[in-house]
Amino acid sequence: MMRYIKLVNFEINRFSKIYLSLLLITLVSQFAGVIIVTKSLLKDARDIMKEERLSEAAYITNYGGLDFSHIANTFLFVGPIALCAVALIFYIFLIWYRDWLGKNTFIYRLLMLPTSRLSIYLSKATAIFLMVLGLIAFQIIILPMENALFNSNVPEALLNMEMSTSTIAAANRLLLLIIPSTFTQFLISYGIGLMIMSILFTSIMFERSFRIKGIIMGLLYCGIAAVLFLAPFFVMDFWNFYLYPNELFGLMLAIGIILTGLSVWLGAWLLKNRVTV
């Protein structure tokens, strides 16, 4: 267990500089977005009131008030979130290929450590998952601060309503995806994320084990996994077969658990028996 924890800590430290940069970019971009967009919204509102000779109450009646959803849908706000997501998806591949393609082929030293290769596999998966949770936690922490900054800069007469963190997340599709409104939705969203990561890890192991043939095998494995996971929807569409929501959820949960378990087992088996130093 201690070796596994050390491996997780090692993997996180290797990505720490880029990870902290992502957090900083998110912080600066979103707070800058709050300030810039708020000023722009207020300027537009004042221009309209001046041109049409409207009072603040009349402006709200005709055009509606201002709320944080105007900020949450801007590029400065959602751009850093998308950047972090793309960076971590890219890191799913980099966390393995960096060890093989680096100057000193570090994977040879890593695979010769006196520990189970399953621990190496799981440590990389755990490191990525913890970094995902860290980014989500960071967003949850700074979101109320950004909301408070917006509310303090908008005159009360023009403020539509003071939105809570959950309300802001519900009004933005990207935020709702990364900050689910219920614990069940959290388990679904991040359970699917874990499944996809394990499938990609196994595809990488196919490529590392069989090279050119492994690329084809990895792509086929991804395709088969996708078809199996979406099979209930195909059955319902093409065979006019109806499943109740609870039945559909239970079936997809079972398929997801099986695919995740199979991917971890197969990936670990390939790493142990087919990937050599």
Question: In the beta sheet, which residues pair with residue 16?
Answer: none
Residue 228 near residue 259, CB atoms below 8 Å: yes
pLDDT band at 101 (very low <50, low <70, confident <90, very high): confident
**Inter-residue long-range contacts of 57-66, CB under 8 Å, 24+ positions, other chains counted:** 57/157, 59/158, 60/157, 60/158, 60/160, 64/160, 65/158, 65/159, 65/160, 65/161, 66/41, 66/42, 66/154, 66/158, 66/159, 66/160
Lowest-confidence range among 45-54, 103-112, 138-147, 204-213? 103-112
**Closest C-alpha to 124, from 201, 26, 64, 177:** 201
Residue 47 near residue 155, CB atoms below 8 Å: no
Q: Which residue has the higher pLDDT, 235 or 31?
A: 31
Give the separation between CA 109 and CA 103, rounded to whole angstroms. Answer: 13
pLDDT at 60 exceeding the cut of 90: no
Q: Which residue has the higher pLDDT, 97 or 132?
A: 132
pLDDT in tens, 151-168: 999 888 888 877 888 888
Q: Which stretches of 69-116 are DSSP H helices? A: 69-72, 75-101, 106-111
Q: What is the mean pLDDT of residues 132-160?
A: 91
Identify the pLDDT of residue 1: 76
Highest mean pLDDT among 108-117, 155-164, 180-189, 257-266: 257-266
**Closest C-alpha to 177, from 135, 218, 214:** 135
pLDDT at 199 exceeding the cut of 90: yes
Whether the predicted model's global pTM rises above the 0.95 cut: no
Give the separation between CA 215 and CA 130, rounded to whole angstroms. Answer: 28
Compute the mean pLDDT over every residue in the chain, rounded to the nearest whole number: 88
Q: What CA–CA distances, in Å, run from 117 to 122, 194, 205, 221?
A: 9, 19, 12, 22
Identify the pLDDT of residue 158: 84
pLDDT band at 104 (very low <50, low <70, confident <90, very high): low
Identify the pLDDT of residue 21: 96
Identify the pLDDT of residue 2: 80
Q: What is the mean pLDDT of residues 70-79?
A: 91
pLDDT in tens, 220-246: 999 999 999 998 888 887 777 777 888
Residue % of the chain over a pLDDT of 70: 98
